[in-house]
């Protein structure tokens, strides 16, 4: 059944360009889109599409979703808090704390948090030359769908990456790698004696009252109202669509397993950037972006992106089977957006359809950030 955009509410008419961009994204293959904007005009929430294919129920405004790699921002915050307390130094060698992996002693904690370690990405890589390098799990067809319920141990994820060639010497390039943040989670565990997820709850979730944010571990369910995510693929040459809402998040771990909602992410990013969560030294770390061009602006747990002239945001993106998440803010946290997209039947190995979806996704994101009412 064709996914049908939900009708616009009167308070959404303030930004017709965003409404059109969201509907275009649904037409390009998203099942549902949820946007929360918080700026000097207040909080505005908009939705398009449906929560589940074959049904007309709208995307729930307070619904939960998998935030993917936005998890990294939570993990980075915990590491920065530990550094502020003197439990570690960002320029310490990771090998000092995790000697069992035999890491290059030049790799520092800061390098993990800013993706300049050079470590292979255990979930696979798309190289600049157009080649695709394999990850620890399959990425095509029914085997990929079946693998989504498999449990993984973080040491095994790291071990897989370390058996592959490094991408560049430590500190001499930029290469986004989930391996970096799985190691950061293990580092937190080594230093505190607790699972990284418990530290996220203790230091971030509980103090900020993020009642709908969880670190699920190996639990395959989303624990509350939510929109469904899907995966398009081909089997024996025939197009198929799988509901991948229920998946084992252990293969993301500290690199991408958290479940949250738009309100909690809005609160988290506000506190992260206005000084309520981090002490001054840590706040300086997250708002100081290196390395310089040609690499993207990156700080521990955040990226810098220019959406349009004079409109620069800092934040993070997330992508896991069935779900996309974007959270961006002004540098001072005064204007913010959260966007959750549940994927539909788009096959990422169908170049034409996937390119159209990506174009629509980018247009919606740029339109959303450009619509923010910045402080005057």
Q: How far is CA 334 from CA 272, 288, 330, 368, in A?
A: 11, 18, 6, 15
Tokens encoding 72: 């990294």
As a whole number of angstroms, the distance between CA 342 and CA 227 comes to: 7
Of the residues 6, 69, 250, 299, only one is catalytic, namely: 69
Q: How far is CA 70 from CA 176, 256, 276, 292, 301, in A?
A: 13, 7, 19, 22, 8
Burial of 11-46, coded b for 16+ CB within 10 Å and e otherwise, reads ebeebeebbebbbbbbbbbbbbbbbbbbbeeeebbb
213: left (phi over 0), alpha (psi -120 to 50) or beta: beta
As a whole number of angstroms, the distance between CA 186 and CA 178 comes to: 13
Phi–psi pair at 173, nearest 5 degrees: 180, 180
Tokens encoding 223: 């624990």
Which of 117, 233, 221 shows the shortest CA–CA distance to 166?
Answer: 117
Query: Is 339 in contact with 21 (CB distance < 8 Å)?
Result: no
Which of 2, 13, 20, 26 shows the shortest CA–CA distance to 342?
Answer: 26
Query: What count of other Cβ atoms lies within 10 Å of the Cβ of residue 222?
Result: 22
Is 117 an annotated catalytic residue? no
Phi–psi pair at 307, nearest 5 degrees: -85, -35
Q: Which residues are catalytic?
A: 69
């Amino acid at each position: 059944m064709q996914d049908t955009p939900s009708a616009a509410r009167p308070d959404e008419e303030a930004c017709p360009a965003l409404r059109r961009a969201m509907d275009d994204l649904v037409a390009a293959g998203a099942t549902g889109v949820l946007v929360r904007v918080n700026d000097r005009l207040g909080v505005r929430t908009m939705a398009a599409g449906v929560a589940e294919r074959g049904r007309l129920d709208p995307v729930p405004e307070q619904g939960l979703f998998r935030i993917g790699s936005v998890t990294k921002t939570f993990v980075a915050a915990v590491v920065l808090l530990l550094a502020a307390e003197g439990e570690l130094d960002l320029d310490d060698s990771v090998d000092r704390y995790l000697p069992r992996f035999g890491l290059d002693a030049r790799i520092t904690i800061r390098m993990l948090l800013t993706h300049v370690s050079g470590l292979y990405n255990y979930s696979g890589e798309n190289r600049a030359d157009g080649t695709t390098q394999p990850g620890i799990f399959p990425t095509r067809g029914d085997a990929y769908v079946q693998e989504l319920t498999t449990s993984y141990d973080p040491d095994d994820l790291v071990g897989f990456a370390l058996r592959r060639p490094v991408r560049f010497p430590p500190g001499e390039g930029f290469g986004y790698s989930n391996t970096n943040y799985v190691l950061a989670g293990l580092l937190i565990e080594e230093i505190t004696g607790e699972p990284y997820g418990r530290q996220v709850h203790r230091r971030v979730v509980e103090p900020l009252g993020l009642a709908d944010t969880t670190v699920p571990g190996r639990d395959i369910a989303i624990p509350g109202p939510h929109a469904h995510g899907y995966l398009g693929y081909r089997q024996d040459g025939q197009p198929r669509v799988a509901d991948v809402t229920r998946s084992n998040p252990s293969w993301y771990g500290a690199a991408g397993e958290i479940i949250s909602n738009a309100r909690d992410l809005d609160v988290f990013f506000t506190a992260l950037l206005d000084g309520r969560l981090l002490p001054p030294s840590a706040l300086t770390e997250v708002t100081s972006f290196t390395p310089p061009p040609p690499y993207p602006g990156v700080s521990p747990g955040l990226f810098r992106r220019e959406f349009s002239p004079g409109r620069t945001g800092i934040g993070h993106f997330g992508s896991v089977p069935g779900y996309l998440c974007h959270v961006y803010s002004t540098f001072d946290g005064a204007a913010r957006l959260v966007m959750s997209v549940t994927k539909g039947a788009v096959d990422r190995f169908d170049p034409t359809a996937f390119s159209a979806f990506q174009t629509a996704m980018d247009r919606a994101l740029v339109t959303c950030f450009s619509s923010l009412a910045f402080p005057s």
